[in-house]
Amino acid sequence: MPDVTLTIDGRTVTVPAGTNIVDAARNGEVAVPVFCYHPKMKPVGMCRMCLVEAYTPKIDPATRQPVIGADGKPERALMRGKLQAGCGTPVSEGMAVKTVTEQSAEVQFDTGKRTIAPEASGIEPADPQVSVTGLDRPLGLVVSDIAEAVLEKLGIEKPDSTVIEQLGARWHRGKIVMHPADPTVQTKEVPLESFFHKIVMMRNNLRVLEQKINGHEKLADADKIEMQQYITRCYGSMTTFNVLFKTKEGQFRTEA
């Protein structure tokens, strides 16, 4: 049987025709990892551990001769356009093999380390897990629950989109910065959207309180007027923040 000459990771290797890439690599002292392959058994190509890039000379359909490039050397193309199992792929004259490629990666499995092509294999990273006092849940859900619990504990509310629509455009993505006189105390920054949300909630609660007072059956008119005056004063104290509102309809008003 005639010999075949090829290159494996840049090394020139000559082996008998019909030799598979794994055995040819061993002949050239290049290690190709295998799991399900044994030289005395028929290759099955099940584990996909021996995936390699195999480039063969391009053949001109008209002349059936190798296509020669501008550099005077035969042009090569990736065999079948994808990685090949080295145990089941016989070598051919002029073949160029790459055992470590940009298309493959070494992944540690329970059964050992395997070189695979992540996209072609369909393998996806496992969802990180966290174990807390016997609780087994996806890490993403645990982090989300913790974040929500922390926000609730700190009294931070997620701004309602309908509320944020009332904020003037020039204030979007802005922030309030509070600088303490004591240089050793850290500066506090509050996103304007969050601050505005609290302002609107206070305005809405004052309006509800005003309605309940005016509609209360057991309050005398004099009591309603007195309480209304306190609410009006609250509105007056909050007029400073009217500048944040997009329209006048949403602003604090001091009319009794």
Domain limits for position 19: 3-121
Question: Using one digit for the tens of pLDDT, what is the confidence trace for 124-174?
Answer: 555 656 566 666 777 777 777 777 777 667 666 565 667 778 888 888 888
A 10 A CB-CB count for 16 gives 13
Residue 139 lies in a domain: no
Please give the full DSSP string across 198-234, using - where no structure is assigned: HHHHHHHHHHHHHHHHHT-SSS-HHHHHHHHHHHHHH
Boundary residue ending a domain (121, 152, 174): 121
The predicted model scores a pTM of 0.41
Same domain for 219 and 112: no
Same domain for 239 and 189: yes
Q: Which residue has the tokens 């209304």?
A: 228
Same domain for 172 and 99: no
Question: Using one digit for the tens of pLDDT, what is the confidence trace for 190-225?
Answer: 888 888 888 888 888 888 888 888 888 888 989 888
State the CATH number of the domain containing residue 87.
Answer: 3.10.20.30
Considering only residues 51 and 140, tell me which one the structure prediction assigns the higher pLDDT: 51
Same domain for 175 and 98: no
Same domain for 110 and 29: yes
Same domain for 112 and 165: no
- Put residue 224 in one of left, alpha, beta given phi > 0 → left and psi -120 to 50 → alpha: alpha
Residue 32 lies in a domain: yes
Residue 150 lies in a domain: no
Nearest to 154 by CA among 198, 112, 102: 198
Distance in angstroms (rounded) separating the CA atoms of residues 237 and 228: 14
Lowest mean pLDDT among 9-13, 45-49, 58-62, 189-193: 45-49
Q: Give me the pLDDT at residue 23, please.
A: 93
Same domain for 101 and 189: no
Boundary residue ending a domain (121, 142, 175): 121
Q: Give me the pLDDT at residue 1, please.
A: 64
Same domain for 185 and 101: no
Q: Which residues have CB under 8 Å from 8's CB, separation 6+?
A: 21, 24, 25, 28, 30, 97, 99
Same domain for 107 and 36: yes
Number of domains in the chain: 2
Same domain for 184 and 117: no
Residue 134 lies in a domain: no
Confidence of residue 24 (pLDDT cuts 50, 70, 90): very high
Boundary residue ending a domain (56, 90, 121): 121
Distance in angstroms (rounded) separating the CA atoms of residues 85 and 90: 10
Same domain for 88 and 9: yes
Residue 111 lies in a domain: yes
